[in-house]
Amino acid sequence: RRTGYVWHERYAWHDTGTAVGVAPSGGFNQPHQAFESPESKSRMAGLVEVSGLIDALVRVPAVEASDTDLLRVHTPEHVERIRELSADRGGDAGDGYTPFGRGSFEIAKLAAGGTMAAVAAVMRGEVDNAYALVRPPGHHARREMGMGYCLFSNVCVAIEYARAELGVRRVAIVDYDVHHGNGAQQIYWDDPDVLAISIHQDRLFPQDTGSLDEIGGPGAEGRNINIPLPAGSGNGAYLAAIDRVAVPAIRAFAPDLVIVSSGFDPSAVDPLGCMTVTSGGFKAMAERILGIAEEACGGRVVFSHEGGYSPVHVPFCGLAVLEALSGRETGVEDPFGASFDASPAHPLQPWQDEIVAQAEAIAERLG
């Protein structure tokens, strides 16, 4: 398959400053870095190149989103605030957990524009599917503010661009980042033409959204599906959520396009998530999502990079997903012993099945 690939070196130059994870340095907090640093993403780009897979991908140039593009989703106040702070010394995008530096406004527009370019390439048939390895991430950004290292909603800005310029109407979002996709949930709460599905660790972040009973606003009931899995969930639980909830829901919804918020922080070695997904698990999820996209909308699927913080594991997870999208094997072995086998690592447990079954029932009833 022809797989589009977006990466721009400037994504690595988005400055999230010195910090102690999520806290500012100073006092007893020895200066280090924010959790959302360039490393895991730059190293994924490096492995895509060194593995040789890059030669099988179609490079899609990232273009900066315009103010018009941003304003289809975000409030003028939010856009202006980021622009002004970014022209000076940076600041925080809204929730206190979203630091950014001078010039981050342009890089965040390049990230949203990277996802837009990937969507355009797929919708124009230039490629079959695409992976936008963008930074900063976007899936926590709300209309009126940034959140959780996200300045603008890359995925939602790309959806509104596709609706305005590319004849797209109905879009399904699958968010497998370990944190709840609260941004798309808020932005599309009342929109029956966007199906937003989030599989995440129950109440990890944000701590007050992502529960099963958040199913969408009036007229859009059932178009928001949360699958809040317990900590420790692995390939078995994630694949059950995909197979029993996401796939049937997308089948019933019949989108024009599928977009994936691709975060690798469910990895078993991720410093922020507490899940046990392997690179083979991410590969299997990508294969299943590709399968339902082929059935529902000609295989049109775009992955937009979100979280994932292990500098040593994210590269192998990302490569595995790109192998699934392109249909090419690189032969690169994940040193974390994660080649996916028939009996999924960390099989589904009864307490995980209980959550999947509830989401399954909600999706069936409202599908």
Ligand X SMILES: O=C(CCC1CCCC1)NO
> Which active-site residues does the annotation give?
140
Beta-bridge partners for 197: 174, 225
266 binds Zn ion (CB under 5 A): no
Position among 105, 205, 282, 303 found at the interface with ligand X (CB under 6 A): 205
Q: In the bound complex, what is the minimum distance in angstroms from residue 196's beta carbon to ligand X? A: 15
Beta strand pairing call for 301-305 and 257-262 = parallel
Site track for ligand X across 257-286, x = CB under 6 A: ------x-x------x--------------
Q: Would you give the distance in Å from CA 150 to the centre of its chain?
A: 11
Position among 160, 256, 306, 360 found at the interface with ligand X (CB under 6 A): 306
What number of other Cβ atoms are within 10 A of residue 144's Cβ? 12
Relative orientation angle of helices 314-326 and 39-50, to the nearest 10 degrees? 50
Q: Which residue number, 99 or 344, has a Cβ lying nearer to ligand X? A: 99
- Cβ atoms of 307 and 137 within 8 Å: the answer is yes
22 binds ligand X (CB under 6 A): yes
Position among 5, 7, 11, 97 found at the interface with ligand X (CB under 6 A): 97
Q: Which of residues 158-187 bind ligand X (CB under 6 A)?
A: 177, 179
> Whole-angstrom Cα distance, residue 253 to residue 170?
8
313 binds Zn ion (CB under 5 A): no
Q: In the bound complex, what is the minimum distance in angstroms from residue 264's beta carbon to ligand X? A: 9
Could you give phi then psi for residue 99, rounded to 5 degrees?
-75, 150
> Whole-angstrom Cα distance, residue 240 to residue 99?
36
Q: In the bound complex, what is the minimum distance in angstroms from residue 306's beta carbon to Zn ion? A: 6
- Cβ atoms of 36 and 136 within 8 Å: the answer is yes
- Cβ atoms of 47 and 315 within 8 Å: the answer is yes
Q: Which residue has the tokens 């048939």?
A: 125
Q: Which of residues 147-206 bind Zn ion (CB under 5 A)?
A: 177, 179
**Helix, strand, or coil (residue 18):** strand
Q: Which residue number, 34 or 348, has a Cβ lying nearer to ligand X? A: 34
Strand ranges inside the chain, DSSP E:
3-6, 18-19, 32-33, 57-59, 91-92, 99-100, 129-132, 171-175, 194-201, 224-229, 257-262, 301-305
- Cβ atoms of 292 and 246 within 8 Å: the answer is yes
Q: In the bound complex, what is the minimum distance in angstroms from residue 204's beta carbon to Zn ion? A: 8
Q: Which residue number, 306 or 360, has a Cβ lying nearer to ligand X? A: 306
Q: In the bound complex, what is the minimum distance in angstroms from residue 148's beta carbon to ligand X? A: 4
Q: Which residue number, 210 or 236, has a Cβ lying nearer to ligand X? A: 210
Q: Which of residues 125-154 bind ligand X (CB under 6 A)?
A: 139-140, 148-149
> What, of Zn ion, ligand X, none, does residue 97 touch, CB below 5 to 8 Å by kind?
ligand X
Q: In the bound complex, what is the minimum distance in angstroms from residue 202's beta carbon to ligand X? A: 14
Position among 191, 265, 334, 360 found at the interface with Zn ion (CB under 5 A): 265
> Whole-angstrom Cα distance, residue 197 to residue 219?
17
Q: Which residue number, 22 or 312, has a Cβ lying nearer to ligand X? A: 22
Residues that bind ligand X (CB under 6 A): 22, 97, 139-140, 148-149, 177, 179, 205, 263, 265, 272, 306-307
Binding residues (CB under 5 A) for Zn ion: these are 177, 179, 263, 265, 307
